[in-house]
Structure 1
Amino acid sequence: MIDHALFDPATIDPETKRLNAEIVAAHAAQEDPWDLPIAEVRARRRRGTQASPAMPRSARAETLTIEGPGGPLSLRVIRPRLRPGQTARGAYLHIHRGGWVWGSADEQDPWLERIADNCGFVCLSVEYRLAPEHPYPAALEDCEAAALWLAGPGKTELGVQALTIGGESVGAHLAVMVLLRLRDRHKMPRAFRGANLNAGFYDLGLTPSVRNWGEERLVVNTRDLTRFADDYVRAGVDRRRPDVSPLYADLKGLPPALFTIGTADPLIDDTLYMSARWAVAGNGGHTAVYPGGCHVFVRYPGEMSERALELIDRFLTALA
């Protein structure tokens, strides 16, 4: 049961309030991203000039190329630092955020370095095809291909057994969709031992919290999330089909999941609804709600982010 006190504004700490105000001001001071060419927004994100500084790229990262449905598919790999004689405890397949439209596999290296070193996992992030050039189901097919490779020849190539999966925002959406495809298309319901799902976008028909959020861009707003869904799913496709919006899927037989969400996230209903359905399906896991946390608040350093990241470390480590 979720503690209702978490949603009391009085529980939001001063650091979080200050951070949220700074994020809103930073977005307000910039050009609206929808007034710019998509290529320009992608370039600005990589340079760290789109609202928030870029996360540093890892000098340890490697690129591994596998065969994907649209051609060669790149996986960004960060291996754990191991002592002589040690082996990796497992692997973590990461799916990046960015609304299916922006973002790339190298934008969150510090998170992957942390999981690699704290959990002993080989971390792989999928460079999936982006919309609107490549609409649904291109991104999902790429992530499915990466998961199948990792659950097959990748285990031997990387020398791992325990597999986990996760992502942030649309990355969490794609992670759940991959688990459903592994279960339904490939008869591999437990190929992955657990899922780390941060602020997922699970209903492309838009939950009430998304529809009612409004214009304030605390990382994202109603317009942003609507445009993301519009660019990813072409007109004429039912947004609430189970193979588009996993909130409406049969969730039985999936692995345990850690759901992470802040109360100041337009996607909070998506996580609360999905985590409840996950529990009813008997899959197990935990839902962590953080007072005042913005969309993917772990992107911003602070005490609350550290608590959330420590819980993610413990959850993933326990799966190995």
Structure 2
Amino acid sequence: MQNSNRAYLLGPLLKGVSRSFYLTLRVLPVGMRDPVGEAYLLARAADTIADTSLIPPAQRLALLLAFRERVNGTSGAMSDGDALKRIASEVAGQQTQSDEKRLLESLDGALDVLGQLDEADRVAVREIVTTLTEGMEFDLRTFPDERSGQVAALGTWDELDRYTYLVAGCVGEFWTKMTYLHIPGALDPALRDTMYQRGVRFGKALQMVNVLRDCGKDLRIGRCYLPATMLAQAALSPADLMQPGTSARARPLMFGLVRIALDHFRAAIDYTFALPRLSLRLRLACLWPILIGLETLERLVDNEDWLDPARPSKLTRNDVYRILACSTLAAPSNALLDAWFKRLLKRIESRMKAIEAI
């Protein structure tokens, strides 16, 4: 029964809640799949708790903190059993997606799977879930209730940089740790510190794409991740960003953040090239988010209404399929990948320069 429950949680249920990320999970080498999949399940459950807007933020925060304590095996104000029962009753009942509802109702099983992992994996999963929930806690403490009609911005670039670490950079760190633990020889032990740093920047690159792509949508729920100091330099406020015609005025600010993201992506590319050419599964798991992220940035810089949530800078399903197919063929070739990356980077940078010259 235990094995069948584990197979369900890390199989059909994980596929149902992870959407496109499941493609990456399935291409991973076998040894990494269970701890990475378990970390994703727990992080997804925490994210659902934090994002259920029908529940007041203070209540979500209390449940999130109780869940984090349960993951770490510590006790807090809410007993373990009470925490899981409240999550199942108060949060699961608000879900419109049946898979997310089932996940919240299956947390006992998911936590049992955590206990079945090897000690090193269990410690690493607890660390990554703790850090990710700190990012979610930051959101709940920083921004107003999504239904309040108010909007708040991060204060400084340092806050945004720290936030991108909490919600994504730490994932690159975790990924690197899993690779060293489970795929001996895939990464050079002498480059351990460098690879951890590149892994953090890899995650930050992907989160910068999310921040910029979703800016218009996030503003409508009261969250402005563009720092107030940068907005002030452009004579803008968070409320201004929701006004028609502001996309053009805010474009220089967006371009500045795109350039920071591109620098992070260069570290992500170096990370990928550090993997052996024949470690195809690991390479593909890195190539897909890099290529999807860069092509998303290309659409973003071309989007004259990038702050309009009705005009999202998103790839089509066919675009994603094209990237999956072409990268699978190119993965073993550093020359082909280098040319592809350089072409994408040059197109993005040239487009920004051309717009700035107008």
User: If the length of structure 2 is used for normalisation, what is the TM-score?
Assistant: 0.28
Q: Could you say which structure has the higher helix fraction?
A: 2
User: If the length of structure 1 is used for normalisation, what is the TM-score?
Assistant: 0.30
Larger Rg: 2
Q: Could you say which structure has the higher strand fraction?
A: 1
